Chains A and B, each alone.
Chain A
Amino acid sequence: MTSELNQQEAMELLRTMLLIRRFEEGLIQTQKSGISIGHFHVYIGQECTGAAAIALLEPQDKIATTHRNHGHLLARGADPRRLYAEILGKAAGYNKGKGGTLHATVAGLGFLSTSALVGGAVPLAVGAGFAAKQLGERCVSVGFFGDGVLEEGVFFESLNMASLWKLPVVFMCENNSAGALGQSAGEYPGSTIATKQLIDVVAPFGVPASAVDGGDPRAVRDVTQQALARARNGGGPTFIEARTVRWPGSRPLWPELSTGETDVAFAWEPDRIPMAHRDWFANDGLIRYVRQLFDAKLANTKEILALDATVRADLAKAMRFAIEAPYPDPASALDDVFA
C-alpha cells in the first residue's frame, strides 16, 4: 500500500523537517551564546521519522515520547515560540516553565508525556491504547522511544500487554545507534543488547514488526500507514524500528554544531560539503530528501531555498519572543502539584 505524496504533501513534509532542523540548530546556538538551557537532546538526523509518521496521525491520536522530543512536538504542530519559551524556562512556555526541554508536553496536541526515564513513555502509550479501546474511540496511541529502551524490562511487559489485549498501539523505536558515529564524540554507546536485530525480540510476542530506513520518509510513511490501519481495525499493536545514524554533534549533555549549520544546497551541490562531513551529509535524511524532491522535479532550488528562508525567519522571531518573554513568578513553583 504505497501512497505517493502529492506535491503539496511533499513540500509540507520538507517544511516540517526543516523546521525541526533549524529549531534545534537555533537552540544550540542560543545555548552557545550563554543562555542556560540545561542538558537537552536533539533530533537532528532523525527528523524524517517523526515528520513522516506524525503527518499521518489523526487529531484524536495520542503520542508518548522521550527526552528526544522536540521533533515530535514540532511535527505535531507545536508553536515554536511556546516550545522555545518552555525550553528557556519562561512563563509563556507550554508547561509554564515547569517541564523544560526534557518534559515539554502539549496535551492539546495529544501528547501524554515526554518522559526522561528510558522506557518511561512506553507503558504510558500502552495505557492510552487501553483507554482508547475501553472508550471505543478510534484513536491510536504511538509511543516514540529509543533503542536503549529495549534494555529495560518495562518494554517487554508493555509489549506483552499490548499484544495480549490487541491494543491500538504503534511502538515506534527510533534506533539511532545504527552507526557508531556519535561514539567518538563521547555520546552514549550504542545499544548494549544481545540480539543482532531489534525486531527479532518482538516477533515471539506475536506483534508484527518491521525495520525501515528512518532517513527515508517514504519508507517510514508506508510502514506507519500499515500500522495505523491495523490498530484502527482492531488488529492490535505494531513495532517499527526506524534506523538512523547518530548525528556527530549529539552529546549526552551539550550538543554542538560540529557539522556546521546545514546548507540545503548540499543536496544539489555536493561539492560544497566540507570534506570532513561528507559521510554525515551523504546519509543525512534531510539532504537526501531535498535531493529526491529536486530529482523528482517536485521542487526547484529556488522554492526550496525560499521555504528554508521562511522557516529560519519564523524561528528567529520565535527565539526572540522566547528570549524576551518573562520568567514565571517564583511562587508559581508551588502551583499544579495536585489537580
Chain B
Amino acid sequence: MAELTYIEAINSALREELARDRGVYVIGEDVALGGPFGATKGLAAEFGERRVVNTPISEGAIMGLATGAAAMGLRPVIEVMFVDFITLAMDQLVNHAAKLHYMSGGQLGIPLTVRVQQGAAGNGGAQHSQSLEAWFIHVPGLKVVMPSNPADAKGLLTAAIRDDSPVICIEHRALYWTRGEVPDGEHTIPIGRAALRRPGKDVTLVATSRMVEVALEVAGTLANEGIEVEVIDPRSLLPLDLDTITASLRKTGRLVIAHEAVEGAGFGAELLAQVQEAAFDYLDAPIARVGAPFAPVPASPVLEQAFVPGAERLAGAVRKVVLGA
C-alpha cells in the first residue's frame, strides 16, 4: 500500500497500462505536458509523444479519432478537460462510440476509455462546474464509472482501459488532491460492483463521487444522534450493482440517494425507479433524493456553496426519512 492522491492514482494507472499494453495510447489537449491537473504528468517523457499524444483543441474530432482507432484495435484513453466540453464530442460519443458494436451486429469492438473530470469547485461558473453523468447513463452502449477515492480511481480506470466497450471514467476535480491508500502494483476493480463504505442498520445512503465523503461525514454526525447510516458507493452507475443496494434495503428499509448533479432526471431518479421495481416490499418510508437544485451552476462563492448539496442538507434528508418528521 502506498498513500497517493487521487490524481497520482490516475497517473499510476495510466503509467502501468501504457507499460503493460502497447495498444494503449493517451490522447488529449495538453496531455503530453501533463494536462492542466497533472493526471498525465511524466508520461510523455517515459513513453514518448507517439503514445502520449497532444491534440489540437478539437473535442469532436478527438472523440471520433479515438473511436476509429479503437475500432482498429488500439486502446485509446482520451482526456476531455472538463465534462462541460464533452458537449462538442457528443455526436462521436453517443452516435458512434456507443453504438458501433451494436450496429455492426457485434463485429466491431470499441475499447475506448474517456477520462473526464467534473463538479462544482473553485467558482468556475456554469460552463466549468456541471455534473453530467446522467446524460451518459441514458445511452445504451456506454459504461459509466465514478471513482470516489484514490484506490478506486486507479482500480476503475485500469478496468476501464481493459474493457472492450467504451467506458467513461468521471473524476471529480475537488477530489484530485485528496489522499488515500492505494494497493501497490496492478489494481483493478470490476466494473459494476458497489462498495459498502460504512455499515449501519437504520437507513441506506447511496452516494456517488464526491458525495461519498459528505455521506460519511453525515453518517458520523447522525451516529451521535442514534441513527446508524449504511453508506454505499455504487462506483459504477452503468452497469449498476442493484443487488448490493437492495440487500442493504432489506436490512434498513429506508433509502436516501445523494449526488452532486441536479436532481431533475438525474441518477437518483433512475435508482429510485429501479429500487421501487425491485425492492418495493422492503421499503418502510418514501425514498429521498439529495442533489443540486435545478439551475445552472452559479459562479459567486456564496451561490456556488448554496448550490452544491452539503452535509447539512443531506443530514436533514436522512433524519426526515428515518424519523418521518
Contacts and interface: CB of A to CB of B under 8 A. Distances in A.
Interface stretch (A31-39, A122-130, A298-306): A31-39
Nearest to B54: A192
B127 A117 contact: yes
A118 interface: yes
Contacts of B122: 36, 38-39
B300 A89 contact: yes
B36 interface: yes
B32 to A, nearest CB: 9
A253 B128 CA distance: 13
A36 B305 CA distance: 13
B36 A333 contact: no
A115 B127 contact: yes
A90 B294 CA distance: 22
Given A97-B298, A102-B299, A333-B293, A36 B123 contact: yes
Nearest to A191: B56
A252 to B, nearest CB: 6
B45 interface: no
Interface stretch (A73-81, A148-156, A222-230, A272-280): A148-156
B300 A116 contact: no
B61 interface: yes
Interface in B287-324: 293-296, 298-303, 305-307
Interface in B119-161: 122-128
Interface string B263-298: 000000000000000000000000000000111101
Contacts of A37: 123
Interface stretch (A17-25, A257-265, A308-316, A324-332): A324-332
Contacts of B123: 36-38, 89, 100
Interface in B187-223: none
A46 B113 CA distance: 39
A189 interface: yes
Contact of A98 (B54, B293, B298): B298
A36 B58 contact: no
A296 interface: no
A100 B299 CA distance: 5
Given A148-B57, A151-B56, A333 B298 contact: yes
Contact of B60 (A103, A153, A192, A334): A153
B50 to A, nearest CB: 16
Contacts of A253: 36
B55 interface: yes
Nearest to B292: A333
B58 A152 contact: yes
A59 to B, nearest CB: 28
B88 interface: yes
Contact of B125 (A38, A120, A192): A38
B60 A98 contact: no
Given A148-B57, A152-B88, A192-B56, A327 B125 contact: no
A188 interface: yes
Given A38-B123, A328-B300, A102 B58 contact: no
B47 interface: no
Interface in A73-99: 89-90, 93, 97-99
A154 B87 CA distance: 12
B293 A334 contact: yes
Given A115-B127, A116-B125, A330 B303 contact: yes
Nearest to B126: A103
A153 B30 contact: no
A271 B49 CA distance: 43
A188 B57 CA distance: 11
Nearest to B128: A116
A339 interface: no
A153 B300 contact: no
Contact of B302 (A117, A154, A191, A328): A328
B300 A100 contact: yes
A330 B127 contact: no
Interface string B75-93: 0000000001101100000
Given A100-B300, A117-B84, A331-B306, A252 B36 contact: yes
B64 to A, nearest CB: 11
Contacts of B54: 189, 192
B65 interface: no
Given A39-B124, A99-B125, A253-B36, A333 B57 contact: no
Task: Report the 7 A-B pairs with minimum CB-CB distance, sorted nearest first.
Answer: A100-B299, A89-B300, A97-B300, A38-B123, A330-B306, A151-B56, A192-B56
18 contacts: A37-B123, A39-B124, A89-B302, A89-B303, A98-B125, A100-B125, A100-B300, A102-B127, A102-B299, A103-B127, A116-B127, A151-B56, A152-B59, A189-B54, A191-B56, A327-B300, A327-B301, A334-B295
Given A38-B125, A102-B127, 6 more contacts: A90-B300, A97-B300, A100-B125, A102-B125, A118-B57, A331-B306
